[in-house]
């Protein structure tokens, strides 16, 4: 039943036949289980003429219930509020000073949440769950942020319990790359995929792996940490102590540093994008080099995992084909031919919202899972 409820929650407007296809269960089984879910008040049907053609809708708790998705980055926070059908009711991004403390960062996110709730006509008490993305490896057993976290002030923090206290809500936490992958899988360029690699090329390179339709965390929760794959043994020293890591080549700080000698210290990624668009050969070359460097790592990932799709997001991905063209070329040259032919390499369709939308998906999954506790089911059925 959990699979069926998850499918209905994550895909608005499915019919019973659609649910049968997605869950690979027989129509008769789906029909029986949907009837049981309706009896418990967890699912209702709307519109349409005949039973199996009517669209299904998940119902848990009060209809005004909502979830919160928060994406903390190196220098930003993005907050979104969504209803239990996964519709984003409002979202907002703000710049944060670098290395802001945990409490101050959460206070900013809470103030943004209050504004979004007010705009959506919701109360604070309507929020029942939060999902939070952080730019570091998260130990899945303890929910602890790893020491390699880009946000130094968060390293070693037991994130779920600390954030639960600060937000006054149940909180589930995951690495932001994993959440970007989940967001793109459910609502973006990864829809319909079972095996997906997501890369976010920003201050560092965040990545998330979807294997068999699920986020792959690995034994230590660090799966997808591609930012410290060394692509040049004699390259620049990295903050991790190695040389020539992917971060030191395509992370926005290194990317801009390379061009600042020519274009001045005030150069931004947006300006490089504009110049590349105008045909500036150096800026175009910088994107092409970044594409080749990413291609080296993605070719290895294709050999290891043979994904159906690679979705590239983050600031540098805004260069579109200027970066994706060289990236595809490198993958075609370096990956096993069959794996290279099988993979589609696309730009993110959710852009800077992918991680926040993934955080909302994580929160919705937690709500679905908790609805199977006997007390929650009884509460929902009475709503």
Say how far apart CA 383 and CA 373 lie, in whole Å.
16
Residue closer to Zn ion, measured from CB, 112 or 245: 245
Q: Which stretch binds Zn ion (CB under 5 A): 74-82, 187-195, 245-253, 319-327?
A: 245-253
Give yes or no for residue 205 binding Zn ion (CB under 5 A). Answer: no
Minimal distance, residue 247 CB to Zn ion, in Å: 6
Minimal distance, residue 242 CB to Zn ion, in Å: 5
* Strand-strand pairing, 88-95 and 76-83: antiparallel
Minimal distance, residue 195 CB to Zn ion, in Å: 26
Task: Name 64's Cβ contacts closer than 8 Å, sequence gap at least 6.
Answer: 122, 123, 126
Say how far apart CA 50 and CA 37 lie, in whole Å.
18
Minimal distance, residue 244 CB to Zn ion, in Å: 8
For 172-208, b/e burial (b = at least 16 CB within 10 A) is bbbbbbbbbbbbbbbbbbbeebebbbbbbbbbbbbbb
- Tell me the CB-side half-sphere exposure of residue 6, using CA atoms within 13 A: 16
- Closest to 66 (Cα-Cα) out of 8, 5, 126, 117: 126
Among 4, 138, 245, 305, binds Zn ion (CB under 5 A): 245
Q: 327 pairs with which residues across the strands?
A: none
Residue closer to Zn ion, measured from CB, 137 or 170: 137
User: How many Cβ atoms from other residues are within 10 Å of residue 300's Cβ?
Assistant: 16
Minimal distance, residue 240 CB to Zn ion, in Å: 3
Minimal distance, residue 318 CB to Zn ion, in Å: 24
Helix spans in the chain (H): 2-10, 16-23, 27-39, 102-120, 159-167, 176-187, 246-250, 252-263, 269-277, 281-305, 321-334, 337-342, 354-370, 374-381
Q: 213 pairs with which residues across the strands?
A: none
Q: Is the separation of the CB atoms in 367 and 67 below 8 Å?
A: yes
Q: Is the separation of the CB atoms in 210 and 225 below 8 Å?
A: no
Q: Count interface residues toward Zn ion (CB under 5 A).
A: 5
Residue closer to Zn ion, measured from CB, 5 or 226: 226
Minimal distance, residue 259 CB to Zn ion, in Å: 21
Minimal distance, residue 323 CB to Zn ion, in Å: 21
Site track for Zn ion across 214-243, x = CB under 5 A: --------------x---------x-x-x-
Give the residues lining the site for Zn ion (CB under 5 A): 228, 238, 240, 242, 245
């Amino acid at each position: 039943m959990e699979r069926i409820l998850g499918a209905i929650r994550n895909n608005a407007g499915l019919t019973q036949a659609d649910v049968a296809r997605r869950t690979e269960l027989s129509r008769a089984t789906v029909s029986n289980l949907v009837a049981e879910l309706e009896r418990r008040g967890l699912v209702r049907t709307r519109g349409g003429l005949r039973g199996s053609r009517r669209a299904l809708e998940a119902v848990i708790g009060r209809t005004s219930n909502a979830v919160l998705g928060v994406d903390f980055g190196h220098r930003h926070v993005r907050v979104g509020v969504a209803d239990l059908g996964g519709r984003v009711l409002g979202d907002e991004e703000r710049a944060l000073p670098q290395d802001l403390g945990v409490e101050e960062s959460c206070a900013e996110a809470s103030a943004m949440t209050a504004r979004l709730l007010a705009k959506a006509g919701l109360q604070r008490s309507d929020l029942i769950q939060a999902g939070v993305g952080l730019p570091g490896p998260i130990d899945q057993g303890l929910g602890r942020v790893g020491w390699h976290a880009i946000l130094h002030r968060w390293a070693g923090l037991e994130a779920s319990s600390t954030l639960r206290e600060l937000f006054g809500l149940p909180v589930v936490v995951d690495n932001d790359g994993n959440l970007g992958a989940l967001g793109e899988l459910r609502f973006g360029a990864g829809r319909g995929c079972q095996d997906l690699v997501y890369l976010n090329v920003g201050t560092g390179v965040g990545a998330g792996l979807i294997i068999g339709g699920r986020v792959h965390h690995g034994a230590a929760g660090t799966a997808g940490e591609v930012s410290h794959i060394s692509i040049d043994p004699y390259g620049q020293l990295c903050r991790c102590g190695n040389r020539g890591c992917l971060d030191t080549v395509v992370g926005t700080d290194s990317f801009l540093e390379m061009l600042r000698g020519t274009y001045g210290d005030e150069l931004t990624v947006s300006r490089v994008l504009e110049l590349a668009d105008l045909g500036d050969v150096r800026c175009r070359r910088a994107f092409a080099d970044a594409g080749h460097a990413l291609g080296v790592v993605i070719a290895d990932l294709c050999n290891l995992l043979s994904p159906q799709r690679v979705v590239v997001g983050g600031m540098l991905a805004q260069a579109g084909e200027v970066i994706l063209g060289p990236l595809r070329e490198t993958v075609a040259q370096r990956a096993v031919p069959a794996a290279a032919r099988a993979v589609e390499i696309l730009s993110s369709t959710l852009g800077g919202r992918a991680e926040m939308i993934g955080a909302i998906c994580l929160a919705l999954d937690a709500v679905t899972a908790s609805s199977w506790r006997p007390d929650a089911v009884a509460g929902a059925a009475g709503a």
